């Protein structure tokens, strides 16, 4: 019988769970609402229910564990989440303990930062499969990142490595939410990208964005920019090229530091990815030491939002490989 693991992608609005086979991949998946405002006990109950539902015919006997990708700070031993943002009432939570007691079954549980889990998922199930080492960048509310080195997560000193969104590309640039001037998130984070689009397109009445935002440019979203770009809107394309230029700068810095030359960009860019990535590719080569420029590649994540859940399940397969089947 093939190894089975459950992957959970714990998000602020939804929880995505999947039963994954070590040989055939995703068996089934299910997404539920997080309802984070109901507090930790309710959310943990819901995760336990989700695990129970996903294992229904497989049974706990064949399940090797539950991997969880979660926001907030994860401890070095990958057992606890601390103060996940947008989860009211959570302090330090030992996920394995909470789930095992709810399921009345001792479960191997491995927790990882959500961006790292997505990186690992990409490495084994997504666009990152082609590469042994790459940097994953996830565009969303913020700009997340992970370093995959020789097919494993590079964790740094405390498990928090990969915060590419907070690297600066202009020490006198705009401030990101982190207070870092010129951090890449201050260009590519949802709110920042939307604001840039607002000013850039304000006087371009021909842009589709004006209709899409119902003439209220305060309501511009990255989604609208992507859709408008795909429809050929020049203004939207210019904004995305601008964003790609900034992305290329920071990827160049990362390539110089790490000698990792492959990049996977995820985060629901869908068909508009090319507008950002082409511009990033053009810039990247100008920000990399000439001796390191061979083999540079930026690709778009194709497995979509599933990579977080798949990567979370893969944490269990890696755990088995390291510790053997019978350790807990």
Applying CB under 8 A, the residues found at the interface with its own copies are 73, 132-133, 145, 147, 154-164, 166-172, 178-182, 245-246, 249, 252-254, 256-261, 286-292
Residue 109 belongs to what H/E stretch?
Answer: strand 109-113
Q: How far is the CB of 108 from its own copies (least distance, A)?
A: 25
Q: Measured between alpha carbons, how far is residue 79 from residues 94, 110, 112, 113, 323 in Å? A: 6, 6, 8, 11, 15
Q: How far is the CB of 156 from its own copies (least distance, A)?
A: 3
Residue 90 or 226: the one with the smaller Cβ distance to its own copies is 90
Describe the strand order of the beta sheet including 63-70 as a list of residue ranges.
25-33, 14-21, 4-10, 63-70, 109-113
163 neighbors 154 (Cβ within 8 angstroms): no
325: left (phi over 0), alpha (psi -120 to 50) or beta: alpha
Q: How far is the CB of 136 from its own copies (least distance, A)?
A: 12
Residue 124 or 261: the one with the smaller Cβ distance to its own copies is 261
φ, ψ for residue 250 (rounded to 5)? -75, -35
Residue 26 or 73: the one with the smaller Cβ distance to its own copies is 73
Residue 100 or 283: the one with the smaller Cβ distance to its own copies is 283
Q: How far is the CB of 307 from its own copies (least distance, A)?
A: 20
Residue 283 or 300: the one with the smaller Cβ distance to its own copies is 283
Residue 227 or 238: the one with the smaller Cβ distance to its own copies is 238
Q: How far is the CB of 188 from its own copies (least distance, A)?
A: 13
Residue 225 belongs to what H/E stretch?
Answer: helix 222-230
Query: 220: burial class by Cβ within 10 Å (0-12, 13-18, 19+)?
Result: buried
Angle between helices 306-323 and 114-125 (to 10 degrees): 80
Q: How far is the CB of 91 from its own copies (least distance, A)?
A: 15
H/E/C letters for each residue in 46-81? Answer: HHHHHHHHHHCCCCHHHEEEEEEEECCEECCCCCEE
Residue 283 or 305: the one with the smaller Cβ distance to its own copies is 283
Candidates 322, 319, 306; CA nearest to 9 is 306
Q: How far is the CB of 161 from its own copies (least distance, A)?
A: 4
Residue 166 or 200: the one with the smaller Cβ distance to its own copies is 166
Q: How far is the CB of 256 from its own copies (least distance, A)?
A: 4
């Amino acid at each position: 019988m093939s190894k089975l693991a459950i992957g959970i992608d714990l998000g602020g609005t939804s929880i995505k769970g999947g039963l994954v086979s070590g040989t055939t991949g995703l068996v089934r998946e299910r997404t539920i609402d997080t309802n984070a405002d109901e507090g930790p006990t309710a959310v943990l109950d819901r995760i336990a229910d989700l695990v129970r539902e996903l294992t229904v015919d497989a049974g706990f006997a064949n399940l090797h564990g539950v991997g969880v990708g979660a926001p907030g700070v994860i401890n070095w031993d990958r057992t606890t989440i601390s103060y996940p943002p947008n989860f009211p009432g959570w302090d330090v939570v030992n996920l394995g303990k909470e789930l095992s007691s709810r399921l009345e079954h001792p479960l191997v549980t491995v927790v990882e930062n959500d961006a790292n889990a997505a990186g690992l998922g990409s490495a084994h199930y997504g666009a990152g499969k082609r590469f042994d080492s790459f940097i994953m960048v996830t565009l969303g509310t913020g700009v997340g990142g992970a370093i995959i080195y020789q097919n494993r997560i590079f964790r740094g000193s405390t498990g928090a490595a990969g915060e590419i969104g907070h690297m600066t590309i202009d020490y006198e640039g705009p401030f990101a939410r982190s207070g870092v001037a010129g951090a890449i998130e201050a260009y590519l984070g949802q709110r920042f990208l939307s604001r840039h689009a607002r000013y850039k397109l304000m006087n371009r009445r021909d842009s589709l964005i004006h209709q899409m935002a119902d003439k209220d440019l305060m309501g511009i979203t990255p989604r609208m920019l992507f859709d408008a770009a795909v429809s050929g809107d020049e203004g939207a394309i210019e904004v995305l090229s601008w964003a790609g230029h900034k992305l290329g700068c920071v990827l160049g810095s990362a390539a110089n530091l790490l000698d990792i030359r492959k990049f996977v960009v995820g985060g629901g860019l869908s068909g508009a990815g090319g507008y950002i990535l082409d511009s990033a590719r053009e810039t990247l080569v100008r920000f990399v030491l000439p001796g390191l420029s061979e083999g540079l590649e930026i690709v778009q994540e194709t497995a979509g939002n599933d990579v977080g859940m798949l990567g979370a399940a893969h944490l269990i397969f890696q755990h088995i490989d390291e510790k053997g089947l019978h350790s807990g």
